[in-house]
Amino acid sequence: MTFMPFNPLLCDELDLAWYDGFNLPQFRTVEVKYIRILETKSILFKNPMGQIINMARAVGTDKENVRGLINSFTTQGWDVSKLPPIVEESDLSLYDGFSRQEALLQMDQKYGFYLVVKKKSRYSKESVIDEIGLGANNHSQHKKATMDDFRKRLAAFIARSKKEVTMDDARAWFDGIPHSFDEMKITKAIIETFQKIAAADTMESFGKPDAEKKAAVLMNKKNSDGVIAIGKKSVKRGSYLKRCVTDALFYYADTGKVPEFVSFLKDVPAEHAETKRKELEQELKSINEALVGLFYRYKQDPDFQFINFKGHLPQVLGKESEMINY
């Protein structure tokens, strides 16, 4: 890393000479033109409502990452060994560097470094976002694209494709973008994306609150109090099971009543619905059998505690070094 002084509060000025000798990258979907100093407010990266248009991210731009960048800029400077934010020559729309762009604006920085590129005519802007928005995150204080980001863009790729996308097509799409995922993770992500798309086409979608409200109506209840909906995904024994058991225990502790459970499927296509429902039924049967076993343990030993709590770990500096007993 090579940092140059960069702090608007100290009126540090930018100098293109900082990038002398920098090796410009090559991309499949765009022609790389040059690095320029541009006005930060001239860069198109927000919609008319002031929201950041980061299409490559599954959850948008990370505010914590922006704060980290501001701290990095003011304490270390600008890292000229890494690519600056990337913009389209025709309209200065941002392809990569959303967190850095937001950090620059929050710092009231008037100018910034940008790598200017021009989209090749045979590629769509969506294809550029796939390649650059996902694959170009190699700058300081960077946040690499996650598999959720890739799933989101893969779904967009499938949606805009004029022919049916196969597993091989999806793998080729992955191969066209820099990443560090192994083959197993890629295959899993592709299958899950196909399933999610199929589920959207063949199944009614629920969130947990809506599922509980619908269950209350179907069971002729006044409201959803005492109803716990379990969201079953394509994986076995996901976090939904842990949550439903915890919800049931707390509900019983608060009310002395046993809640009623219903299930709904998440990202599961209709063709797999029966299999996944039976899988959930078996998982719940195992939990009920475990609870029955605990009940007999309590009958045999009134002092038995399922949550076998041993104590608190020492954390107070200079005062604690041993386990704090319960």
Total number of domains in the chain: 3
Spatial separation of the C-alpha atoms in residues 232 and 209, rounded to whole Å: 14
Q: For residue 287, how many other CB atoms are within 10 A of its CB?
A: 14
- How confident is residue 60, by pLDDT bands cut at 50, 70 and 90? very low
Q: Which of the listed residues 113, 142, 171 is the one where a domain comes to its end?
A: 142
Q: What is the pLDDT of residue 23?
A: 92
Are 127 and 153 in a shared domain?
A: no
Q: Are residues 8 and 115 in the same domain?
A: yes
The whole-number pLDDT of residue 77 equals 87
Indicate if the pLDDT at residue 113 is higher than 80: yes
Buried-state track 169-203, b at ≥16 Cβ within 10 A, e below 16 = ebeebbebbbbeeeeeebeebbebbbbbbbbeeeb
Mean pLDDT of 51-59: 58
Q: For residues 136 and 117, is the Cβ–Cβ distance under 8 A?
A: no
Whether residues 179 and 258 share a domain: the answer is: no
Average pLDDT over the chain reads 85
pLDDT greater at residue 49 or residue 280: 280
Is 265 among the domain residues? yes
The answer to the question of residue 81 being in a domain is: yes
Average pLDDT of span 105-112:
92
Please check whether residues 125 and 221 belong to one and the same domain.
Answer: no
- Note whether 159 and 215 are same-domain residues: no
Whether residue 308 lies inside any domain: the answer is no
Tokens of 249: 């225990």
Q: Has residue 256 been placed in a domain?
A: yes
What's the rounded Cα separation, in Å, for the pair 267 and 272? 10
Instruction: Dump the DSSP string for 87-150.
Output: EETTT-BEEE-HHHHHHHHHTT--EEEEEEEEE-TTS-HHHHIIIIIHH---STT--PPPHHHH
Six token digits for residue 81: 């060994």
243 inside domain: yes
Q: Are residues 107 and 173 in the same domain?
A: no
- Mark whether 61 and 152 lie in a shared domain: no
Is 12 in the same domain as 132?
Answer: yes
Q: Is the pLDDT of residue 59 over 60?
A: no
pLDDT interval class at 58 (50, 70, 90): very low
Averaged over 281-299, what is the pLDDT? 92
Q: Are residues 16 and 83 in the same domain?
A: yes
In the numeric block, the tokens 């200065």 are attached to 92
Q: pLDDT digits over 218-269, tens only?
A: 999 999 999 999 988 766 655 577 888 889 999 999 999 999 999 998 878 8
Last residue of a domain, one of 142, 157, 176: 142
* Same-domain check for residues 150 and 134: no
Q: Are residues 101 and 189 in the same domain?
A: no
H helices, E strands: number in the chain: 10, 10
Using the predicted structure, report yes or no on whether residue 199 has a pLDDT greater than 90: no
pLDDT, average across residues 172-181: 82
Q: Which conformational region is residue 24 in: left (phi greater than 0), alpha (psi within -120 to 50 degrees), or beta?
A: beta
Residue 93 is part of which domain span?
A: 3-142
Q: At residue 166, does pLDDT exceed 50?
A: yes
Spatial distance between the Cα atoms of 60 and 103, rounded to a whole number of angstroms: 15
The pairing of strands 86-88 and 111-119 is parallel
Contact present, 144 and 57 (Cβ < 8 Å): no
List the CATH number of the domain containing 76.
3.90.1530.10
Do 109 and 228 sit in the same domain of this protein?
A: no
What are the angstrom distances between the C-alpha of 236 and each of 10, 199, 209, 276, 280?
A: 55, 17, 22, 9, 8
* Confidence at residue 142, expressed as pLDDT on a 0 to 100 scale: 56
